[in-house]
Amino acid sequence: MLRLIHLAHRASSSARFFTPTRRVSSLQRRHVTSSSWLSSGAGRTSDDAVAAEDEGIKVTPMVAQYLARKKEYPDCMLLFQVGDFYEFFGDDARRAAHLLNLALTRKTKKAQHALSEMCGFPVGSVDSFVEKLVMHHGVKVAICNQVESASTAKKRGYTALVERQVVRIVTPGSLVEDTMLTPKENNYLASLFYDEDTWGLAWADLSTGEFVSTTSTSEKLSSAILRCSPKEILLPSLQVNSEAGDAVEIDLSNDAVALLESALPDTCMKTFRPASSFVPRPALTSGRQTRGASIKTLDAPEQAAVSAILDYVDFTHRGRSALIRAPLHVESSDHMIIDSSAWRGLELAKSLNGSKASSLLQAIDSTTTPGGSRLLAAHLASPLMNLELLERRLDADSYFYGQEQLLQRTRKQLAEVFDMERNLQRLSIGAGTPKDLKNVASTIDEAKRLVELIQSHERLRHSRLPDLPGKDDVGLPVLLSDCCNGLVATEQQRVDIARAAEEIHAALKDDYASLNAKSGFVRAGYSSELDKWQAILRHDPKSPEKQELQAKYRELIGSTRLRVIFQAEKGYFLDIPHDENAKLLKTDRGRRELEKLTLFQSLKNSVRYRSEELRQLNRELTEAAVEVERVENDIFTSLRNRVLLVRAELQSMAHAISQIDVVCSHAQVALDRNFTRPLLDGSCELHIEDGRHAVVEAAHLRGSNSRGMRAFVPNSLHLAAAPVGSCWLLTGPNMGGKSTFLRQSAHLVVLAQMGSFVPAKFARVGLVDKLFCRVGSADDLAADKSTFMVEMQETSTVLTQATSRSLVLMDEVGRGTAVNDGIAIAGAVLETLCAKQTRTLFATHFTALSDLVGDTCNGELRPYRMEVLQHQVGGQTKQLVFSHRVVEGLAAHSYGINTAALAGCPPAVVARATELLHELTHDGVEDATGSPDETDDAQLRLQRAQAVLNAAHFTQAQLVAGDDEAASPIDAHQVLDELRQILNGTRA
């Protein structure tokens, strides 16, 4: 029995993460106020519905039907089909009118209860309106359709109500509709469950069928969630009765809530489900396998998370949980852990403003297919820790990188491929169209050509190799070979797939406009039965048959102005002008013949009749239309079933195409941007020569033509255990490039471990197990946390979780508090990271840290600075130039006032700041009591003395050792005099 269920029965308060409480966070409160999926199964019915029942208001049978459906889905806005329209009623109507800008109306003037309020839109507009509600406003929508025609309902009685059922519940994580999805992005639904110190996590993209599950510890959870960045996540919620008899929520405790809220994207919908959803149901899990084992063999938390996904898919898609594949179990240790701060701060998939623009993903995405783009994003979110798999990816990159002609031909072929993953999914759930079938068939053809292209090129390349020992061992890289095997399948499967594609091409028209229609998509000549019925439906206004029919009735009735007209909605009828009709009624012949007809419509200028002959003809046309729809639907169903028989093979084909696209994208970017193949190993070394920031460089390239921007300045990096040094202390002014250097180093590691070439002259990367990034500043006012508190919490995470295999980027640790406090904290953090030999880039303005903790870091700490060039005129600084080069040593100044001037601060402010800085450095800083803060003053003196040494042409070590060749006696005397004055406080 799962621990959560056990807690529900005991209502225990001893659980660490699940505790009964009425004090709720924003995440919990959102559930308490709006979610109804409690274990009791009861939900909050709309206030208007309750009022209607309590007041005994008499409602129409249709409104009663609406109320019954609304009770079943209380936390959804209910779209209720009424003929050719979808309607909202009551609370939903008022909300929809506001969100969708629809007109709110009342059914009748006498109706005063709120349920009489309604608004709606045509059935054909449902996708656009539902998309706005779900994607823009975070609303769940239940779609209640008419499941029978009015004529069928009347067979049960003249007053029988048309049956309506909820056929689909649309939520952000359950989308399969093409119009609501972003082609190049996955749309994940996730599920999370905690039990016995372990988190179970599962995520699925219902639009592609992908399904993944894993387990995680609390410290790795945020990284695991960020890998999928779900649009919606399922969380357990229980309701039990307390001793006082009132309902008590058992939700995640404060610790767990804080963990989740830091990990979940702001746009992620939190959906609370009853405990029963997290218990495996045989009807949903039987027969499902994961890596060859039953779902029941998974750990309890993971099994619960998987079960919740299956249950929710079954709920939202009304019994179609089979539309997703068996879950793929992955180990968290297989991938680099990227914490939430690093994910956001490094702008890997999205920039800080939430868009893909200016992100690393955008800078390296040169894919040509939607599936390839989604797979590239997945690789970026899950850098590998497996050297063998990484080398396979890099071998494939190198293969195309070295054969540009093949690369361009392959990319051209890939451009003809459709999004077969999503085409197959729509066909699988019954939402597919003839267009999806045509796309599948076309992609099958292109896959065949793709294999032939790669294999024929390899045969030609192999034939040109010299006859040397080992020639037979040279061939396609393993990854590409596997992809080609995935594209062709077995011989029998290849035959079945090819025949299915041939049949689709033979049956369906090439005109894509017709493929989106409900009928008219089958080629003429494919089905003799269909051709027969379609011949009846063809209506040529000038056809001999129609002209003969019109001549016949003109002669019979005696009117030359009579017309035989056909309209799609009315069929055939006779149209006679009013004055002509009046004349005919005055004659015996005309009156006699008109009395044999049925008058069915009188217009302003004419009257319309039908004869029994025309009614029979219309019945035949109606029958023909029904038969055409039936035959075409049968043809479509038959073709769809043939495709679904080889669905697994086609999914493998689609994945192989995406893999080839990703490899080609890597090769193309490497060629265009001069990337190089990284060397990967199991060491704890990180050695980069002339590394570049991929995103900034791309921006420079885009702007170079129009704005004349200079090329990106490359920098090198070497981190390893002493004597090389695992930690760099990076100092320099604001705008000098410290943050850019930090981020580019992390980007290089992520690119290397996703299997991509990197922007550098040379790169050797010892696999990084965890990536931490403490950059930027932000507070969390909702959680009552200051900027400094948030930074300290992030720093705590780094110190407790980093290992010697990790990469840590720390920017301005210790700011936000008193100078001495900040320096002390930064020094202690540095010592801890150096003791662990964690590869670290530590950017700071505290240059004194080098002397403060340098001796205790056992040779692991190395000082580096961002170079600043000064142009001087007449002994005065004229201009500062930030070269963005990383050089050895400590920065002499921070140049904060200069940066303020560059930012456009008023000259008076800059001048006054300069004066105040002079006073601070000359007189010392007063503390809160009014006495000079001697410690801060001494610190400032030490920093200024260090700056003098940095500016000299000899090192401190040479000075202490008395190196006579380091400088002339005059230079040495001048420097010593400056140092004496500074340390004695007699020099400004």
Domain contains 527: no
Q: What is the pLDDT of residues 133-184, one digit of tens each?
A: 998 998 999 999 998 888 788 888 878 899 999 999 999 999 988 888 999 9
Where residue 419 sits, what CATH number does that domain have? 1.10.1420.10
Q: Which string of DSSP letters, residue by residue, matches 59-82?
A: --HHHHHHHHHHHHSTTSEEEEEE
- Asked if 891 and 812 sit in the same domain, the reply is yes
- Asked if 747 and 847 sit in the same domain, the reply is yes
DSSP lists the bridge partners of residue 869 as: 881
pLDDT for the residue numbered 327:
86
Residue 327 DSSP class:
P
Which residue type sits at 518?
K
| Rounded distance between C-alpha atoms, residue 599 and residue 927, angstroms | 102
Domain boundary, last residue among 836, 870, 904: 904
Q: Phi-psi bin for 157: left (phi > 0), alpha (psi -120 to 50), beta? A: left
Total domains in the chain come to 6
pLDDT for the residue numbered 822:
85
pLDDT for the residue numbered 248:
41
Give burial (CB, 10 Å; 0-12/13-18/19+) of 194: buried
Domain contains 370: no
The alpha-carbon radius of gyration of the chain (Å, integer) is 37
| Rounded distance between C-alpha atoms, residue 944 and residue 892, angstroms | 7
- Asked if 196 and 321 sit in the same domain, the reply is yes
Cα 786 to chain centroid distance, Å, stands at: 30
- Asked if 508 and 645 sit in the same domain, the reply is yes
Domain contains 345: no
Domain boundary, last residue among 851, 881, 904: 904
| Rounded distance between C-alpha atoms, residue 751 and residue 748, angstroms | 5
Residues 422/324, Cβ–Cβ less than 8 Å: no
- Whether omega for the bond prior to residue 906 falls within 30 degrees of 0, making it cis, is no
Residue 674 DSSP class:
T
| Rounded distance between C-alpha atoms, residue 117 and residue 120, angstroms | 11
Domain contains 359: no
How many other CB atoms are found less than 10 A from the CB of residue 370?
22
Q: How many residues does the chain have?
A: 988
pLDDT for the residue numbered 69:
92
Which residue type sits at 570?
K
- Asked if 802 and 831 sit in the same domain, the reply is yes
Q: Taking Cα atoms as reference points, which of 78, 82, 87 lies closest to residue 121? A: 87
Q: Pick out the chain residues at pLDDT < 50.
A: 1-45, 239-251, 287-293, 468-474, 706-708, 779, 781-782, 925-936, 938-939, 953, 957, 960-961, 988
Residues 6 or more apart whose CB falls under 8 angstroms from that of 434 comprise 508, 514, 515, 516, 521, 636
Which residue type sits at 3?
R
Where residue 819 sits, what CATH number does that domain have? 3.40.50.300
The b/e string for 100-137 (b: 16+ C-beta within 10 A; e otherwise) is: bebeeeeeeeeeebbbbbbbbbeeeebeebbbbbbbee
| Rounded distance between C-alpha atoms, residue 572 and residue 41, angstroms | 55
| Rounded distance between C-alpha atoms, residue 696 and residue 884, angstroms | 13
Q: Taking Cα atoms as reference points, which of 656, 515, 516, 658 lies closest to residue 184? A: 658
Give Dmax over CA atoms of the chain in angstroms: 139
Helix (H, G, I), strand (E, B) or coil at 839: strand
- Asked if 655 and 583 sit in the same domain, the reply is no
| Rounded distance between C-alpha atoms, residue 350 and residue 339, angstroms | 15
pLDDT for the residue numbered 8:
37
DSSP alpha helix (H) spans, 708-737: none
Domain contains 427: yes
- Asked if 449 and 318 sit in the same domain, the reply is no
- Asked if 202 and 316 sit in the same domain, the reply is yes
Domain contains 407: yes
pLDDT for the residue numbered 984:
58
- Asked if 629 and 653 sit in the same domain, the reply is no
Which residue type sits at 899?
T
Domain contains 361: no
pLDDT for the residue numbered 778:
57
| Rounded distance between C-alpha atoms, residue 915 and residue 941, angstroms | 17
How many other CB atoms are found less than 10 A from the CB of residue 803?
13
Domain contains 832: yes
Instruction: Give the containing element (helix H, strand E) for 614.
Output: helix 612-645
Domain boundary, last residue among 334, 367, 402: 334
Helix (H, G, I), strand (E, B) or coil at 866: strand
- Asked if 27 and 85 sit in the same domain, the reply is no
| Rounded distance between C-alpha atoms, residue 983 and residue 939, angstroms | 10
Where residue 230 sits, what CATH number does that domain have? 3.30.420.110
| Rounded distance between C-alpha atoms, residue 529 and residue 237, angstroms | 56
Q: φ and ψ at 561, to 5 degrees? A: -100, 0
- Asked if 164 and 208 sit in the same domain, the reply is no
Cα 733 to chain centroid distance, Å, stands at: 36
Residues 6 or more apart whose CB falls under 8 angstroms from that of 290 comprise 213, 297, 298, 306, 326, 327, 328, 329
pLDDT for the residue numbered 792:
85
Residue written as token pair 């030999």: 837
- Range of the structural domain that residue 295 is part of: 3-34+180-334
Q: Alpha carbon of 151 to those of 156, 161, 166: distances in Å?
A: 9, 11, 21
Residues 6 or more apart whose CB falls under 8 angstroms from that of 214 comprise 201, 202, 224, 302, 329, 330, 331, 332
Tokens matching residue 674:
């001069």
- Asked if 734 and 806 sit in the same domain, the reply is yes
